[in-house]
Amino acid sequence: MFLLSINLYYTIRFPKKIYFLTGKKAHLERFINMEKETFKSGNMLYPLPVVMISCSDGEGHDNIITVAWAGTVCTNPPMLSISIRPERYSYGLIEKTKEFVVNLTTEDLAKATDFCGVRSGRNIDKFNEMKLTKAKGDHVNAPMILESPVNIECRVRDIIKLGSHDMFLADVLAVHVNKQLMNEKGKLELNRSNPIVYSHGEYYGIGSLLGTFGYSVKKEVQKKETKEKDKKREKQKDDANKESIRNTDSHKKDDKKDHKKEKKKDNKKDNKKDSKKVNKKREASSNQINKKDASKKTKKENKKKPIK
């Protein structure tokens, strides 16, 4: 209660600073200064993907415009959007042909990306100025930029009038990727192209990998999976032990039965042997008795005979 009252006091005394209690001794420490300043209203959704939009008037005049107001709109069907000021040269080209190509940018294309965003295509050929190579797509007449790692062919579905910018809502018709960025498993490793982003008037590389989608809960899922696997293994071991015990018991029973049968057989054999021995003894004794009787008879007969 005492610590809560201290926290409450400091919160009221310094409302724009946050404090907290840490450690076993519960020392009062200032965690971080969270003081905020109200900024002018506007877009502060940074960083953003910065892309080069290639387009054409359908009569052989091609152009490139750099756009940061671009994003994914829908997964199925695949759709994206770009927002362009109506006074820009490329606005009229896209409005006329209803098609364009989104070309992703890299560190090597940083200069061309900036140039195509600050120079107008009314008076210059940006492909020639930046020495960029045109490549033909599969579905649209607008050229792709060959040096870009990923090219996305698009066809405009709708133009939404918003204010300073109009949004071009488009369907994705095809995606072309650099083969060198595909790994052995067929996965696109876009980070190898060193892509760049735009943040409040500045260009940055994306830096190092911090995690993959779902990594924050991956450990918990792995723990659950490992626990379930361990449980399954334990069950399998228990079942195997039970089966082995049953098998050993059945083997023991079978062994006992076999042992009894063998004993019976042995007893029968012994009984037969004993009976044979007894019969032999009986025969021998009867033979002896018969011999004795015969000898007695002969003696009697000899006595009865007269002496000559």
pLDDT for 93 equals: 98
Q: Inform me whether the pLDDT recorded for 148 exceeds 70.
A: yes
Higher pLDDT, 282 or 239: 239
pLDDT one-digit tens code per residue, 172-200: 999 999 999 999 999 999 999 999 999 99
**pLDDT over threshold 60, residue 8:** no
The number of beta carbons lying within 10 Å of the beta carbon of residue 90 is 25
Task: Specify the DSSP class assigned to residue 47.
Answer: S
Task: Flag whether pLDDT at 132 surpasses 60.
Answer: yes
What does pTM read for this prediction? 0.64
Q: What digits encode the pLDDT tens for the residues 40-64?
A: 878 889 999 999 999 999 998 999 9
Residue range 125-138: mean pLDDT, rounded: 97
Would you say the C-alpha torsion 117, 53, 67, 203 has a positive or negative sign?
negative
Q: Beta-carbon neighbour count of residue 134 at 10 Å?
A: 13
Q: Tokens 């659950």 label which residue?
A: 224
% residues pLDDT > 90 (the chain): 52
Q: What are the φ and ψ backbone dihedral angles of 194, each rounded to 5 degrees?
A: 60, 60
Give the pLDDT mean for 37-41.
82
What residues contact 196, with CB distance under 8 A and at least 6 apart?
A: 50, 105, 106, 107, 109, 110, 113, 203, 204, 205, 206
Flag whether pLDDT at 136 surpasses 80.
yes
Determine the average pLDDT of the residues in 54-80: 96
For the chain, percent of residues with pLDDT exceeding 70: 68
pLDDT at residue 3 above 50? Answer: no
> How many helical (H) and strand (E) elements, i.e. helices and strands, does the chain have?
5, 14
Asked whether residue 1 carries a pLDDT value surpassing 50, the answer given is no
Q: How confident is the model at residue 255 (pLDDT cuts 50, 70, 90)?
A: low
**Most confident by average pLDDT, 19-28, 85-94, 250-259:** 85-94
Q: What is the pLDDT of residues 88-124, one digit of tens each?
A: 999 999 999 999 999 999 999 999 999 999 999 999 9
Q: Is the omega angle on the peptide bond into residue 77 within 30 degrees of 0, that is, cis?
A: yes
210, pLDDT greater than 60: yes
Strand 18-22 with 150-161, pairing: unpaired
